[in-house]
């Protein structure tokens, strides 16, 4: 590249990087992924390496130092950093309390630790031998970003603990920016001609994710801690309320509004007091959190999917606003579902600028009688997802246009749109032939919760697809055959191509649950993918069983129930129906995916390109009698609920299934056991009474 051409390209890249820096760090509203940003920086570095005489002191590479992906390295949470389930009504709180008491087998009022739910950035802070060593964001719950250098700048964070602490201590908390500090920061930014933050939460997140720790040091950040990730040795109090006191004695700040309450009525009374005081607090809160106070009960209750059973966030009502609906846009998702989206005149709701809101489906448009040109009321449901609530009919203009839901997909194939049996969802009938679905599935495939391929953002996926370089997931692992063509593309060079190909090669070995989740099979998300991986163990067995379940269902498509699926349809289909969180409806959707030959071909081609090790459950007690065993629970258990018992068995290394076979090692038989107990006797499978199960699992008195 000639010097003048290189100079122009470097100036373009520098301006683009600076724009994304402002969107990301100051506005906390990024337009591109971290991986796409990283590619821009790498491209600029490669040009500067070839033309060092053109490097300017104000280049982003000179000011930034390391790229974000290097600066914010991934950190694996040894104990998952869970999100909380949400409640929005009094009934939600009563139902939460009812579930807790049922799982605990108690009619007595439960004591809860209650505290405000801060609207900030969740953080995990690690101490070794009493000294601060690491800080990481929540991330996806399993992995976060290493923000040690910036979190160390928060003045209220103790760098050395005040009292005796375990050799390893991980504390969880929330970083936030007080309202007064937020106001002053925005005044300073405005005075310097810089754009102000839209709300304190974004200001806190942007301040922690600064590349320059000195910027973070100047920001008015605070930290309240609320719990533990882990402690070794585990010398901690018995109750959540006592835990907060213990953490405070070590030098941490905790919420001064934290307290204990007994029963759901007291929870609601606390909620109403905080709702009334919300406007006068010196920081933003968006609800309250209730946690079962006894820590041993928290252990018993465990978790479901990615949220604990022993806690709930009771959110304050969503904020609402009125604005103009300029248009209705149809989006096609990876499963072919057509979703109408309202294109709005931008408006601030709950501290966030909203320009799009979901209209859910065609029936919702009809119910609302919403028209293009209407004034509508919107809210951020749970302060997260914007949605249209109603039309302000008194403001309707005469030229407002009714919206006619399309009967054909907006893709270039114009394939018919079909309405599902439930009458709600409408899908493109083109399947994987639909370009929108192909691109969306590929985007999902490389996303963080799937194969997590760094440097391959949505724009690159779409461009590669349009140019014929990428049609199926397996094509990703053959991009190396097109390396020369990639280098010739605008904005790509030797370094950026090598970085992308290295990132792809790093994902040739993938966990089974991530492999299954990445395929985008309807109804299968992260939790269900993990349940399938746990059930079938390895990728070949999983695929073989899915194909067998398909054959069985094709031979007999009569209605059936989960309990009778094996007897009426077949063993493979019955096994699928009885996997955790899967019933007949979900099983039928999964089987339907495998009836399309090209889907099976796509999976086989992908298996040929990658390594999928057998699934292994995390952290199993070495001396567990159930490690590696297959177990079935049947009947009613009196000491603990079925969910709790199955979770405990899995924690002890067992594989819990829903049907009895010759491969089953133990069947735990509770009261009123039925056909599973009889089948265990017929097959000679060892059965355990509830007392025997409790004794062997260590849960007995």
pLDDT in the model for residue 67: 31
Q: How far is 413 from 431, CA to CA, in rounded Å?
A: 11
Compute the C-alpha angle 298/619/652, nearest 5°. Answer: 70
Q: Count Cβ atoms within 10 A of the Cβ of residue 662 and give its class: 0-12 exposed, 13-18 middle, 19 or more buried.
A: exposed
pLDDT in the model for residue 405: 93
Q: 3-class SS at 645? A: helix
- Positive or negative torsion for Cα 6, 7, 9, 14: positive
pLDDT in the model for residue 333: 83
pLDDT digit string, tens, across residues 299-317 = 999 887 668 999 999 988 8
DSSP E strand boundaries for 202-251: 222-232
The 3 state secondary structure assigned to 177-211 is: CCHHHHHHHHHHHHHCCCCCCCCHHHHHHHHHCCC
Domain 3-71: assigned CATH number: 1.10.287.610
pLDDT in the model for residue 30: 54
**What architecture does CATH give domain 431-505?**
Orthogonal Bundle (1.10)
Q: How far is 197 from 185, CA to CA, in rounded Å?
A: 9
User: Helices 435-446 and 458-466, interaxial angle, to 10°?
Assistant: 140
Q: 3-class SS at 342? A: strand
pLDDT in the model for residue 68: 31
Q: CATH class for domain 630-697?
A: alpha beta
Buried b / exposed e along 181-220 (16+ C-beta atoms within 10 A): bbeebbeeeeeeeeeebbbbbbbbbbbbbbbeeeebeebb
Q: Note if the bond before 233 is cis, omega within 30 degrees.
A: yes
Q: How far is 254 from 227, CA to CA, in rounded Å?
A: 10
pLDDT in the model for residue 64: 33
Q: Which fold has domain 320-402?
A: OB fold (Dihydrolipoamide Acetyltransferase, E2P) (2.40.50)
Q: How far is 209 from 147, CA to CA, in rounded Å?
A: 7
Between the CA of residue 179 and those of 176, 184, 282, 383, 467, what are the distances in Å? 9, 9, 6, 18, 50
Q: CATH class for domain 512-609?
A: mainly alpha
Looking at domain 86-315, its CATH superfamily turns out to be DNA ligase/mRNA capping enzyme (3.30.470.30)
Q: Count Cβ atoms within 10 A of the Cβ of residue 230 and give its class: 0-12 exposed, 13-18 middle, 19 or more buried.
A: middle
Bridge-based pairing state of the strands 426-428 and 385-391:
unpaired
Compute the C-alpha angle 448/46/39, nearest 5°. Answer: 20
Q: How far is 620 from 631, CA to CA, in rounded Å?
A: 15
The catalytic residue positions are: 117
pLDDT in the model for residue 374: 96
pLDDT in the model for residue 9: 81
Q: Report which of 165, 170, 112 is spatially closest to residue 144, judged by C-alpha positions.
A: 170
Bridge-based pairing state of the strands 143-145 and 259-262:
unpaired
**Residue 110 near residue 104, CB atoms below 8 Å:** yes
pLDDT in the model for residue 382: 46
pLDDT in the model for residue 611: 94
Q: How far is 259 from 280, CA to CA, in rounded Å?
A: 19
What are φ and ψ of residue 612, in 5° steps?
A: -120, 95
Q: How far is 195 from 176, CA to CA, in rounded Å?
A: 20
Q: What count of other Cβ atoms lies within 10 Å of the Cβ of residue 698? A: 12
- Positive or negative torsion for Cα 430, 435, 439, 445: positive
Q: Hey, where are the domains in the chain? A: 3-71, 86-315, 320-402, 431-505, 512-609, 630-697
Tell me whether domains 3-71 and 431-505 share a fold.
Answer: no
pLDDT in the model for residue 678: 85
Low-confidence ranges of the chain (pLDDT < 50): 24-28, 34, 63-71, 382-383, 618, 701
Q: How far is 614 from 29, CA to CA, in rounded Å?
A: 39
């Amino acid at each position: 590249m000639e010097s003048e051409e290189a100079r122009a390209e470097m100036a373009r890249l520098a301006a683009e990087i600076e724009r994304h820096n402002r969107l990301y760090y100051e506005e906390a509203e990024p337009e591109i992924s971290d991986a796409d940003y990283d590619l821009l920086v790498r491209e600029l570095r490669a040009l500067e390496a070839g033309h060092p005489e053109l490097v300017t002191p104000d280049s982003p590479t000179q000011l930034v130092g390391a790229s974000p992906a290097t600066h914010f390295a991934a950190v694996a949470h040894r104990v998952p950093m869970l999100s909380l389930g949400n409640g929005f009504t009094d009934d939600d709180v009563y139902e939460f309390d009812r579930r807790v008491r049922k799982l605990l087998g108690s009619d007595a009022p439960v004591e809860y630790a209650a505290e405000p739910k801060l609207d900030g950035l969740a953080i995990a802070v690690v101490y070794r031998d009493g000294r601060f060593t690491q800080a990481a964001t929540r991330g996806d719950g399993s992995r976060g970003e290493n923000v040690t250098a910036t979190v160390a700048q928060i003045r209220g964070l103790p760098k050395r603990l005040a009292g005796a602490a375990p050799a390893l201590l991980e504390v969880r908390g929330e970083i936030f920016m007080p309202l007064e500090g937020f106001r002053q920061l925005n005044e300073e930014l405005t005075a310097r001609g810089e754009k102000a933050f839209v709300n304190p939460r974004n200001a806190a997140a942007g301040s922690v994710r600064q590349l320059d720790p000195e910027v973070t040091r100047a920001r008015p950040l605070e930290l309240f801690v609320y719990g533990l990730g882990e402690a070794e040795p585990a010398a901690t109090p018995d109750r959540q309320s006592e835990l907060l006191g213990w953490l405070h004695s070590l030098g941490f700040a905790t919420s001064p509004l934290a307290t204990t309450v007994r029963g759901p009525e007291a929870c609601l009374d606390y909620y109403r007091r905080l709702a009334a005081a919300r406007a006068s607090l010196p920081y933003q809160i968006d609800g309250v959190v209730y946690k079962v106070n006894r820590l041993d009960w928290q252990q018993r209750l465990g978790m479901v999917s990615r949220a604990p059973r022993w806690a709930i966030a009771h959110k304050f009502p969503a904020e609402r606003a009125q604005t103009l609906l300029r248009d209705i846009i149809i989006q096609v998702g990876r499963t072919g579902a057509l979703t109408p989206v309202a294109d709005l005149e931008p408006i601030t709701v709950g501290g966030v600028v909203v320009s799009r809101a979901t209209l859910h489906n065609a029936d919702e448009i009809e119910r609302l009688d919403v028209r293009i040109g209407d004034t509508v009321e919107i809210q951020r449901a749970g302060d997260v997802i914007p949605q249209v609530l109603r039309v302000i009919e008194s403001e309707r203009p005469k030229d407002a246009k009714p919206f006619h839901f399309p009967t054909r997909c907006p893709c270039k194939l114009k394939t018919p749109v079909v309405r599902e049996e439930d009458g709600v969802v409408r899908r493109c009938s083109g399947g994987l032939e639909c370009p929108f679905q192909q691109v969306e599935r590929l985007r999902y495939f490389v996303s963080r919760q799937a194969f997590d391929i760094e440097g391959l953002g949505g724009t690159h996926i779409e461009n590669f697809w349009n140019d014929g370089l990428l049609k199926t997931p397996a094509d990703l692992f053959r991009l190396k055959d097109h390396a020369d063509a990639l280098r010739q593309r605008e904005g790509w060079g030797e370094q950026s191509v090598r970085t992308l190909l290295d990132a792809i090669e790093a994902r040739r070995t993938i966990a089974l649950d991530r492999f299954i989740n990445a395929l985008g099979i309807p109804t299968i998300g992260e939790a269900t993918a993990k349940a399938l991986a746990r059930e079938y163990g390895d990728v070949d067995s999983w695929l073989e069983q899915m194909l067998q379940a398909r054959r069985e269902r094709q031979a007999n498509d009569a209605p059936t129930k989960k309990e009778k699926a094996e007897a009426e349809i077949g063993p493979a289909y019955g096994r699928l129906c009885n996997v955790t969180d899967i019933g007949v409806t979900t099983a039928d959707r999964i089987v339907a995916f495998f009836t399309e030959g090209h889907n099976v071909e796509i999976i086989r081609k992908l298996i040929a390109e990658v390594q999928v090790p057998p699934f292994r459950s995390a952290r199993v007690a070495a001396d567990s009698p159930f490690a590696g065993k297959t177990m079935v629970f049947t009947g009613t258990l009196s000491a603990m609920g079925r969910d709790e018992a199955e979770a405990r068995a899995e924690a002890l290394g067992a594989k819990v299934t829903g049907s009895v076979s010759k491969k089953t090692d133990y069947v735990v038989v509770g009261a009123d056991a039925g056909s599973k107990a009889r089948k265990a006797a017929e097959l000679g499978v060892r059965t355990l009474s509830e007392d025997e199960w409790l004794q062997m699992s260590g849960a007995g008195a």
